[in-house]
Amino acid sequence: MSKHVVRRATAGDAAPILELRERSILALCVGDYTEEQIDAWMGKRLAKGYQEWIENSPFFVSTLGGKVTGYAAYNPKSQELLAAYVDPDYVRQGAATSLVEAIFSDARGRGLESLWLDASLTAVPFYKAAGFKPVKETTHSFSGVPLECLRMETDL
């Protein structure tokens, strides 16, 4: 199995990131959320929004053979892991683990001691394996539609 290469995202990664996010949600989360929830979660996102996010946050992509296979970003001020998605064709091949390790390394380098996130029900097993501990059940709302999540934290 080839190793996913993790690097800082660039503005040119925005379109592949947007497509990857949509594919990931549609392929991986349908067993945990309703069609209405999936539609609201997908929302109407534009690559330009990702370009701005990439410029203003620690934002990483994993690649394999030059193809973006996953991405992750966090907010150092709030210490929140904001997003981590993997292309459904590359699930369980090390992309997500490599991305989370890059986030942990970057956060430690900034002097952070912990991170938290609101994990989708789909992602909870992965985050537990990555060292996050459940804290409480919570809800995210997209366009007024609630999605059940689990607040999780980890020490760095």
- Give 45-65 pLDDT, tens digit per residue: 767 778 888 888 899 999 998
Q: Report whether 119 contacts 132 (CB < 8 A).
A: yes
Q: Is 74 part of any domain?
A: yes
Q: Is 10 part of any domain?
A: yes
Q: Is 14 part of any domain?
A: yes
pLDDT tops 60 at residue 1: no
Range of the domain at 45: 5-112
Q: How far from chain centre, in Å, is Cα 77?
A: 17
Q: What is the mean pLDDT of the chain?
A: 92
pLDDT at 124: 96
Q: Is 93 part of any domain?
A: yes
pLDDT at 56: 86
Q: Is 124 part of any domain?
A: no
pLDDT at 2: 61
Domains held by the chain: number: 1
Q: Is 104 part of any domain?
A: yes
CATH of the domain at 9: 3.40.630.30
> Which tens digit of pLDDT belongs to each residue from 101-127?
999 999 999 999 999 999 999 999 999
CB atoms within 10 A of CB 133: 12
pLDDT at 142: 87
Q: Is 122 part of any domain?
A: no
Nearest residue to 57 via CA among 96, 17, 24, 89: 17
Rounded distance between C-alpha atoms, residue 53 and residue 51, angstroms: 5
Rounded distance between C-alpha atoms, residue 96 and residue 9, angstroms: 15
pLDDT at 6: 95
Q: How far is CA 104 from CA 2, 5, 62, 111, in A?
A: 22, 16, 15, 11
pLDDT tops 90 at residue 33: yes
Q: Is 156 part of any domain?
A: no
**DSSP state letters, 27-56:** HHSTTTS-HHHHHHHH----HHHHHHHHHH
pLDDT at 140: 87
Tell me the CB-side half-sphere exposure of residue 114, using CA atoms within 13 A.
8
